Structure 1
């Protein structure tokens, strides 16, 4: 039966990515003239259907707007300012910067005539923040949070067989968190097409139980009937293994569902000898749900899931697949050097892989729902997840957000816990907080009873929220006593949701507060906090605690504690904002991982400190280590369990060598040595072949080598990048938390409206003296004052644009919108366009620079007037914008302590080679080729 339905299956469901080909421009939070006059019409979009005006109107001229692809974060493109938000990394957006706090996006999509009769929705994975969406001028809704995905049905608003306009206004003036959050449509956008009877969005929930090597799969499916009549159908479900083999099927037949109703149905399937999902073998199955009418498939929905068992115990911690499992986690925000919050999917995988290399097996989404692609990476690479809610509360808004989170993410085997909140200082120690947490916890359990519910708690334990949670999250245990909490609430499970924290700057080994540098030796950040080593030693000795999540895995923009301006990023990470490891990574590799580790810090370039003692640390998981300076032993030491070794070594240029021993046998040798001056650059990509899909990326590490080929750990040369071929650079970084260099290099676009536009009626359009710059127009009326006067045969309009010296040296582009039935255009008396017929899409006119000069330039338009066909017609009175543009400058970035990063993306146009060249003054250049394939 299933094979037959598969054979009959047509294109019943489409899930189309519409990230490409958007237009973007800045609006304004309170100056409507700068906000494209949105919301100023006699009838607003809230008063009458289809009355989206200004940039929300379908016929709005967005040709002068910047072209871009999504995801997009305009905050990462912004300059820095000391007046900007500490939390958001001093990026010049927010309340003090209204000119850069509202963003508009527009895109045209074509809908085929054959799509009529389908249900069509537009879905946004995340927009930061406070977004308003229109389609063809119809207001769809507002989503205040920057982290919630949302979807709108646009079926009845569409022009089938023609173009349709999506418009989005984004207001990033207000922050939700206290960390960098970006701005704009920073996650994917999708167009979904289904038949009226279909599986709802995120409409499956798969839970599994394991007994005697047989997995019972409970597959709940939510079906919508969005049609206008009752419908009868069959639900068929099949489970596929990773080889594409069907391992279980089940059918529910002759179901009736009324029009405009939604209903849940559940099938139970059995899988013998299942492959279990784990962090080491992240095996996943695929559930295919097919809806059939008269034996013909009308919808098909795929769900990835994993089979695994999870359990928390109040006395012995966490169990995965029946075995005790130590949580070795990190907290992370969604942000990366060069791209901000607009992280390409491949970069999500790169970041999770970096954490796994460190020995980490768990990820806390701090402090908001993640992008779905992050969870896909965790599923496929093997990383456990705390999926975190953004805002506590018990009203419909809060519950709806929590429900959407669980429905969206509930099939990810990586997710082991739902977090309902984090450090809710206003309520966490009160009875109010306890009531809210109790209600939220019960609500979550009503939706998903298979996972534990947690909340992160930072102080005042034994009361409020901490007294009611089934799984308490301890933040910074040095402030309180988990042992006392465990004794008071012996039924309560626990883990460290934020623990182990340190301030460090990658590659820095002497603290210099004037430069905002913190030495990379694992020091506790304050007296009432634990270092990484102290935190891990505390948790590993207490089996009732399931493990800990370090603050943080990656550095992130904003919250540059313990400093302020000009620091713009955090110092907490085990890896910097680029993912380059700090030295603490090797401590964790030693005690979290299962591979031999031997690591020396610091580097050995200390010119000017000859004879001065240098702190030398060694991270290793061998039994003992012997240290040598220029082949002279500095002693052999036993390594304490979960600890490290230290020496004081007077500096002398040369080689510092460590030898690791286990049971007296030499196992590994590691060395750092003094390097020479920078001689050449080198580049290494995390992969050298990427998909030619316009989305895939290569993350490239750039470093400096001396004449012997040794990496130079303190190089800070400025590197310039050039790219040729079928790709583009989308971001640069270097991990320096004090760097104010740009992450992106963009073309400059300046749109100039024609100012002081005036009008004069004339008898004809031929040889008009009024187009000459010296003509006296002081008595002319303001343009379009007599628009309704149909007796006038022709009009001359005059206005000015003001150019700087630089602007006047470049040709300009006039995005002209017809204001006449036929028109000719003059600039400073020179004819630049003759006898243009009016048409809906306007004209693009190049104004040669030889017609221009610095200061005021006169623009004249001679027209035959437009006429209304109906009294209610609105004639165009905006001739458009004149644009000055400058190509993007060369991409560049300084090395920071020897390293920088450039992210290269395929352009989606064709397969071929991308060649990246890196140059720096006085050094041999480096060239790297990345291949793109279909």
Structure 2
């Protein structure tokens, strides 16, 4: 293969809703009516939706059901139903709006969506993960007359995915009012031919929705920092419906995950009288990066290892319904762990998710497809691929190419066409499409075939970077087999864990299931759990420690993307139903970290780490494996009831300290020792019977807009001394009292079959989580949390 040293000099920008007139975005998420019945008369403007349920968007109807084995998606798809649903919304527009353009935007609808306005059919959208819009202008009514939107969503063909998809209008909807002459966001592309802290060039390309012959227009470009200081500005005059120009800027701060500096770019369109016709505002981040076949990845001229995780799109108890506050919670937990990169597995994310990545500082590998023309499920995207994949790819790239976080495009994951010659043509064509729309970022794919002669996607010689999933034993031969192409570990690990479960550690990594011949594990636990010691993995994977060490030792690998950051709904390897969510996550489905979280934190994060496991409630004399994750120290020392059990330290091949300890009730303490002195210590104590709960309410850190913010209530079941009780769980009721709705509850247990929308939830290993949404953000809310013996009122300011 020819040599590819991939270097990119890029400006990254994020679309922000402009507050300036005449472009106005109207939130259309509230006051919809919904039904799971199916009748084409629902499309009619004069239909009255009697007995329909009133809902707010984003909305996922599947998540409200109890889990069930009978649903055709199967437990791989989350053991929840699909079906057909209808949505309707009525609205009025003032007469003064006549003459404006009104565009109805959908952030994502799963799955096949058909849209009507006032009984007029607007069209169908196939791809369940991409945004789309319709021009309502020709069909609107103004003044006192009502307008009616009807949307039919069909997610009845199942199974159509290897994971939980959700059903319905599950991302944001808005009505956008624009001037009759306006810029097209999908044709707006902002790049930097030059980037440095000294001098940079900012290039702006865009196009208008229509051409007005003989009428000159002005476009004013203004770049300012977050303190509103003007960095650069320019006004250009043009008469064409397309334009391209640039600003010269100096003294800017470069965007990095540690310091994600953003600037505001205003693009203002004026007519020949200087009347404002349109305004677009973008967030801009400047940086450059480079992939090298021998040295790996560098950012802004410095070596940089990608510490990444793969994330599915569901948000636990909220299902697929996107909420920016919940997504921010996930990302902030990953940030605290040391993560600097996200792979969107295996589909495009919500645009608001990318906004968060821009602002918080994550590099994002944006992935388009999990399959091409060859299926992985009977009714998955393969049935639409040949007809729609190019248009969908164009839509993805145009939508997301102006985000600072997006630094790679992935055109596929473990695609079956890598094993036959059709992979060559598909790869060349899709890479060509991406490069034409965005030549500033590399194109990759996640592969499994490590022999060049058998890998037809690699043989296309079109990809800038090759990603390989797992294949630890083949890492050292990859640079020879795939000569001249930079490499990343695009998916690793697939270790399995249930938070708070501790089985005796075996001498070798246990593979559950043991091979491809076994669909499920044959020697698993009867309660469908997996030990939280990092010692169990799916047969194609390995432990977290080993997977990271394999990448850490190899400079030529640009980085790692661990499968996965969070547990997700569906794909519950290694068990059949009643398991209904994954075991792969570093954090469980409820958002509670598993112990291995602290291994990564000790390796990746700039923070002091000392974490001891397991809990200290066992049978007298039982042999217990005790592990400790730590950093910034020479060794750690373990004490049981004041007696030293010896000092241990990590090694090049083991990222934790460990002891075998006969259980004795009381206190287990570990101290961290540096240069002979104790610098940190933590204690685990034997818990008694549960007598109370402690509730930690998190909100401020995850707040986004005041309207859609959520409050996360982590409930700890404790004894009389305030110690968490890990072995005597109780059922809790989350009862809304005033100004609040319970949006969901969870405990992280992968085989809990109660609906995640249920307001009752048992603690699991002493913990549970409730998710609350205030009705009025300005007023205090009250929630009662009760069990048979415990009652506590929670006030949320």
Q: Which string of whole-angstrom CA distances, capped at 9 and with x for unpartnered residues, describes residues 784-804 of structure 1? A: xxxxxxxxxxxxxxxxxxxxx
Q: Distance in 2 between matches of 1:582 and 1:729?
A: 25
Q: Distance in 2 between matches of 1:671 and 1:378?
A: 36
Counterparts in 2 of 1:459 and 1:87: CA distance versus 1, 3 Å: farther
Q: Give the corresponding residue for 2:687.
A: 675
Matches within 5 A, 1:881-920: 891-908=759-776, 911-920=778-787
Matched, 1:459 2:487: no
Which residue among 64, 86, 100 is the counterpart of 2:74? 86
Q: Distance in 2 between matches of 1:21 and 1:76?
A: 20
Matched, 1:191 2:57: no
Q: Give the corresponding residue for 2:21.
A: 11
Counterparts in 2 of 1:203 and 1:906: CA distance versus 1, 3 Å: farther
Q: Which string of whole-angstrom CA distances, capped at 9 and with x for unpartnered residues, describes residues 739-793 of structure 1? A: 0112114xxxxxxxxxxxxxxxxxxxxxxxxxxxxxxxxxxxxxxxxxxxxxxxx
Q: Give the corresponding residue for 2:256.
A: 278
3-state SS in 2 of match to 1:428 = helix
Matches within 5 A, 1:683-832: 683-687=695-699, 694-745=707-758
Q: Which string of whole-angstrom CA distances, capped at 9 and with x for unpartnered residues, describes residues 541-579 of structure 1? A: 111101101100000111100001100110000000111
Q: Distance in 2 between matches of 1:396 and 1:276?
A: 41
User: 1:692 Cα shift?
Assistant: 8.7
Matched, 1:168 2:154: no
Q: Distance in 1 between matches of 2:304 and 2:442?
A: 15
Bigger drift between 689-698 and 304-313 goes to 689-698
Q: Give the corresponding residue for 2:230.
A: 246
Matches within 5 A, 1:586-597: 586-597=598-609
Q: Distance in 2 between matches of 1:221 and 1:591?
A: 44
Contact kept? 1:726, 1:911, Cα under 8 Å: no
Matches within 5 A, 1:20-31: 20-27=30-37
Q: Give the corresponding residue for 1:646.
A: 658
Bigger drift between 175-184 and 102-111 goes to 175-184
Higher relative contact order (CA 8 A, sep 6+): 2
Q: Which string of whole-angstrom CA distances, capped at 9 and with x for unpartnered residues, describes residues 814-841 of structure 1? A: xxxxxxxxxxxxxxxxxxxxxxxxxxxx
User: 1:422 Cα shift?
Assistant: 0.3
3-state SS in 2 of match to 1:710 = coil
Q: Give the corresponding residue for 2:402.
A: 411
Q: Distance in 1 between matches of 2:715 and 2:322?
A: 20
Q: Give the corresponding residue for 2:44.
A: 57
User: 1:687 Cα shift?
Assistant: 2.1
Which residue among 55, 61, 70 is the counterpart of 2:57? 70
Q: Give the corresponding residue for 1:558.
A: 570
Q: Distance in 2 between matches of 1:466 and 1:651?
A: 54
User: 1:629 Cα shift?
Assistant: 1.1
Contact kept? 2:75, 2:579, Cα under 8 Å: no
Q: Distance in 1 between matches of 2:451 and 2:20?
A: 58
Matched, 1:475 2:469: yes
Q: Give the corresponding residue for 2:85.
A: 103
Counterparts in 2 of 1:308 and 1:392: CA distance versus 1, 3 Å: farther
Count of residue correspondences: 736
Matched, 1:514 2:526: yes
3-state SS in 2 of match to 1:454 = strand
Q: Give the corresponding residue for 1:804.
A: none
User: 1:87 Cα shift?
Assistant: 4.8
Counterparts in 2 of 1:489 and 1:692: CA distance versus 1, 3 Å: closer
**RMSD (CA atoms):** 1.9
Q: Distance in 2 between matches of 1:432 and 1:691?
A: 45
Matched, 1:236 2:227: no
Contact kept? 1:692, 1:907, Cα under 8 Å: no
Counterparts in 2 of 1:715 and 1:397: CA distance versus 1, 3 Å: same
Counterparts in 2 of 1:446 and 1:594: CA distance versus 1, 3 Å: same
3-state SS in 2 of match to 1:926 = strand
Matched, 1:424 2:415: yes
Contact kept? 2:586, 2:593, Cα under 8 Å: yes
Which residue among 203, 206, 217 is the counterpart of 2:202? 217
User: 1:524 Cα shift?
Assistant: 4.4
Q: Distance in 1 between matches of 2:80 and 2:739?
A: 33
Q: Which string of whole-angstrom CA distances, capped at 9 and with x for unpartnered residues, describes residues 333-379 of structure 1? A: 11122210113111111110011111111111000000011111111
Contact kept? 1:240, 1:247, Cα under 8 Å: yes
User: 1:594 Cα shift?
Assistant: 1.8
Contact kept? 1:337, 1:735, Cα under 8 Å: no
User: 1:230 Cα shift?
Assistant: 6.3
Contact kept? 1:685, 1:699, Cα under 8 Å: yes
Which residue among 329, 333, 339 is the counterpart of 1:360? 339
Q: Give the corresponding residue for 2:389.
A: 398
Q: Which string of whole-angstrom CA distances, capped at 9 and with x for unpartnered residues, describes residues 696-727 of structure 1? A: 21111111111111222334211111223332
TM-score normalised by the chain length of structure 2: 0.89
3-state SS in 1 of match to 2:476 = helix
User: 1:660 Cα shift?
Assistant: 1.1
Q: Give the corresponding residue for 1:267.
A: 245
Q: Which string of whole-angstrom CA distances, capped at 9 and with x for unpartnered residues, describes residues 39-98 of structure 1? A: xxxxxxxxxxxxxxx00001111131000100100110122221222355543424xxxx
Q: Which string of whole-angstrom CA distances, capped at 9 and with x for unpartnered residues, describes residues 579-627 of structure 1? A: 1000110110111112221111111111xx2212111111112221111
Q: Distance in 2 between matches of 1:334 and 1:149?
A: 14
Contact kept? 2:496, 2:537, Cα under 8 Å: yes
Q: Give the corresponding residue for 2:380.
A: none
Q: Distance in 1 between matches of 2:589 and 2:197?
A: 46
Q: Give the corresponding residue for 1:546.
A: 558
TM-score normalised by the chain length of structure 1: 0.77
Q: Distance in 2 between matches of 1:497 and 1:549?
A: 5
Q: Give the corresponding residue for 1:788.
A: none
3-state SS in 2 of match to 1:67 = strand
Q: Distance in 1 between matches of 2:471 and 2:734?
A: 46
Q: Distance in 2 between matches of 1:306 and 1:212?
A: 12
Q: Give the corresponding residue for 1:437.
A: 427
Which residue among 928, 931, 934 is the counterpart of 2:794? 928
Which residue among 610, 620, 623 is the counterpart of 1:613? 623
3-state SS in 2 of match to 1:225 = coil
User: 1:526 Cα shift?
Assistant: 4.1
Q: Distance in 2 between matches of 1:55 and 1:62?
A: 8
3-state SS in 2 of match to 1:306 = strand
Bigger drift between 230-239 and 287-296 goes to 230-239
User: 1:681 Cα shift?
Assistant: 1.2
Q: Give the corresponding residue for 1:823.
A: none
Q: Distance in 2 between matches of 1:56 and 1:149?
A: 21
Larger Rg: 1
Q: Distance in 2 between matches of 1:81 and 1:638?
A: 47
Matched, 1:505 2:498: yes
Q: Which string of whole-angstrom CA distances, capped at 9 and with x for unpartnered residues, describes residues 284-338 of structure 1? A: 1111111110211111011112111121111111111111111111111111222
Counterparts in 2 of 1:899 and 1:89: CA distance versus 1, 3 Å: farther
3-state SS in 2 of match to 1:590 = helix
Q: Distance in 1 between matches of 2:220 and 2:386?
A: 37
Q: Distance in 2 between matches of 1:75 and 1:895?
A: 24
Matched, 1:626 2:617: no
Q: Give the corresponding residue for 2:189.
A: 205
Q: Which string of whole-angstrom CA distances, capped at 9 and with x for unpartnered residues, describes residues 138-174 of structure 1? A: 0001111110111000101011112100000001113
Counterparts in 2 of 1:719 and 1:291: CA distance versus 1, 3 Å: same
3-state SS in 1 of match to 2:316 = coil
Which residue among 139, 144, 154 is the counterpart of 2:136? 154
Which residue among 585, 602, 605 is the counterpart of 1:573? 585
3-state SS in 1 of match to 2:169 = coil
User: 1:438 Cα shift?
Assistant: 2.1
Q: Distance in 2 between matches of 1:398 and 1:564?
A: 33
Q: Give the corresponding residue for 1:334.
A: 313
